[in-house]
């Protein structure tokens, strides 16, 4: 009996450790691109706790075109221009809501992307003529929904992602947008997901940058 109790306790400890590992917030780097039907944009997220650094990179020169430092606690966004070496506070724009009523379907389809098991969610808005297939990785991407609610981006991928119930902790490793007839309108995909320690200085304004006052 004593041996059985010991084994049971060990099993509980292991289960608790596994649960804690699964629930731990993501820290690391996520690279992805987004195509809106005309242009392709390349981004990198650096994530640590409530701090996000978002970098927009020129794929031809590999130079940083724009940088945003976002504090999820204070909901403050600081924009940096690597070209001009200036920074300024950027207010959150007004929230963008779908014109119609999005219909969300969680399918049984799964695929592995960047090492994560992803489940397909389909969001349809007949009034806007938008249909997006999201391949969502569940787990510990707790930052994303708060980030999107601060940025209030006007692209359809962000707008309709916020319409998925229970999406907290998920990240779309792949998304494909079509019209209601199935014609392609855009896509986005994660190209690198690296968990690891991000140094605190990542989220600081670099030396030599000056505040730009409008």
Calculate mean pLDDT across residues 60-87: 93
Average pLDDT, whole number, for the chain?
A: 88
SS3 201: helix
User: How many Cα neighbours within 13 Å face the side chain of 130?
Assistant: 25
Listed in sequence order, the residues at least 6 apart from 4 whose beta carbon sits closer than 8 Å to its beta carbon are none
- Compute φ and ψ for 149, nearest 5 degrees: -70, -20
Query: Distance between CA 121 and CA 24 in Å, rounded?
Result: 24
**pLDDT, tens digit, 9 for 90 and up, residues 13-43:** 333 333 334 558 999 999 999 998 888 999 9
pTM over 0.75: yes
Q: Does domain 28-200 have CATH number 1.10.150?
A: no
Domain spans in the chain, listed from the N-terminal domain onward: 28-200
**pLDDT, tens digit, 9 for 90 and up, residues 77-132:** 999 999 999 999 999 888 878 888 999 999 999 999 999 999 999 999 999 999 99
């Amino acid at each position: 009996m004593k041996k059985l109790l010991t084994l049971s306790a060990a099993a509980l400890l292991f289960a608790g450790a596994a649960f804690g590992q699964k629930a731990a917030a993501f820290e690391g780097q996520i690279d992805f691109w987004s195509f809106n039907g005309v242009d392709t944009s390349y981004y990198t997220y650096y994530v640590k706790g409530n701090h996000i650094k978002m970098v927009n990179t020129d794929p031809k020169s590999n130079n940083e075109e724009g940088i945003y430092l976002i504090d999820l606690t204070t909901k403050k966004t600081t924009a940096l221009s690597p070209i001009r070496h200036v920074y300024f506070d950027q207010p959150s724009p007004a929230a963008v809501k779908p014109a119609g009523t999005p219909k969300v379907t969680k399918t049984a389809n799964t695929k592995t992307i960047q090492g994560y098991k992803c489940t397909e969610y389909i969001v349809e808005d007949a009034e806007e003529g938008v249909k997006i297939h999201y391949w969502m990785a569940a787990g510990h991407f707790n930052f994303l929904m708060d980030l999107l609610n601060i940025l209030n981006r006007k692209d359809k991928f962000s707008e309709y992602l916020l319409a998925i119930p229970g999406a907290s902790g998920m990240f779309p490793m792949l998304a494909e947008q079509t019209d209601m007839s199935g014609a392609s309108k855009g896509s986005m995909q994660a190209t690198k997901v690296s968990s690891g320690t991000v140094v605190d200085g990542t989220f600081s304004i670099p030396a030599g940058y000056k505040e730009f006052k409008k």
